[in-house]
Amino acid sequence: MHLALHLAILWLLFAVLVSATDLYKVLELSRHASEQDIRKAYKRLSKQYHPDKNTDPGAEEKFVDIAHAYEVLSDSTKRQIYDRHGEEGLKAHEGGQQHHANPFDIFSNFFGGTFNTQQQVRRGQTVIIEFEVSLADMYTGANIDFTMRKKILCDHCRGSGAASDGDIHTCSGCGGSGVKTFKQQIFPGMFAANTVNMVIQKQCPHCKGEKVVEHMQQYTLELKPGTPEGFDVVFDGEGDESPDWEAGDVVLRVRSRKEKGAWRRKESSLYWRETIGVDQALLGFQRNITHLDGHVIEIDRPGVTQPGYVQTIKGEGMPLHQTDGFGDLFIEYNVVLPVELHSDIRQKLVGAFYGSGHHDRDEL
């Protein structure tokens, strides 16, 4: 009795809460979303906010909104009316009063009645992809668009492999259960179980009975400033689809691209190698270094700079991930000596280092 009352209240909420909500925002989609995008969004969000799984305040209302949004946007006619005239247009189309389906019926029909928060759901393989980006993008943060080839359920047959529902027939051997299990003897005392699939009279012309098709899907990788090396960004449920399992995850393992003679990174520290001449090493110098985000660091070294000397500049390293701090910048100085010296310069150096009375050995 308590369960029935609970369901009735939720259904009433369904009719009340769907007034002026942007249905695309409810499913976290743009108005250019494809049918596949709408199905994927409903699949992800309805499971996330299902009352049997999510007990957070507001989850039930969110579940109701998600069901209504999917009910409208998955129907091409209703979607066109909504896009042009909004909820009022839908109400006029249905005779002045909208008729909302039970959100639990929508959920059950979508998942075929197989959803159970307590049972182990078979999931597809998790795919890990090494993804290289520029160090500048890891420093500043960036949104990087990329495409990935994957298998998705055929839009035409919805993963049945049949040309139409009428082409799926009950197998006399399995008694309508969908599969028939029989034993095959491998050797005395050892048997293996095998299954026979349901009978499909005419294959789907789009997927040729394969139930899935190849698809190029576009994604956006969101990098936060200071993203660590080897950081895993998880795209939940974006692996290969199949009617036999729930799609696994795609994991992008983000690393900076190796570039010759450029910035180097170690955790929150940045390293830069600056080349100077012997005159600058001895007499001092001023120089500007353009950082990864374009801001300029002014270097002022009034004294002698030893070859291999490392200067530390506080707070000019990588941003600390998800905090307001910064690491440090380390500048290593490489001193380049001239290939040869003119005689007059040589004499001046001899006099400066050894005194005017010293004879250069080249004169001996």
User: In the structure encoding, which two tokens stand for residue 173, read together?
Assistant: 């051997």
| DSSP secondary structure string for all residues of 82-146 | HHHHHHHHHHHHTTTS--PPPHHHHHHHHHTT---TTSPPPB-PPEEEEEEE-HHHHHH-EEEEE
Position 198 scores a pLDDT of: 62
Q: pLDDT: is 15 or 155 the higher one?
A: 155
Sign of CA pseudo-dihedral 277, 281, 287, 293: positive
Q: How far apart are CA 6 and CA 103, in angstroms?
A: 13
Confidence of residue 356 (pLDDT cuts 50, 70, 90): low
Give the tens place of pLDDT for each residue, 294-340: 899 999 989 888 888 899 989 989 999 888 889 999 999 988 887 77
Give the tens place of pLDDT for each residue, 12-52: 544 444 445 688 888 888 888 888 788 888 888 888 888 88
pLDDT at 179 over 80: no
pLDDT at 119 over 60: no
The percentage of the chain sitting over the pLDDT mark of 70, rounded to a whole number, equals 75
Q: pLDDT: is 333 or 167 the higher one?
A: 333
Position 354 scores a pLDDT of: 72
pLDDT at 197 over 60: no
What is the rounded average pLDDT for all residues in the chain? 77
Confidence of residue 181 (pLDDT cuts 50, 70, 90): low
Position 22 scores a pLDDT of: 84
Q: pLDDT: is 262 or 299 the higher one?
A: 299
pLDDT at 219 over 90: no
- Phi first, then psi, for residue 30 (nearest 5°) are -90, 170
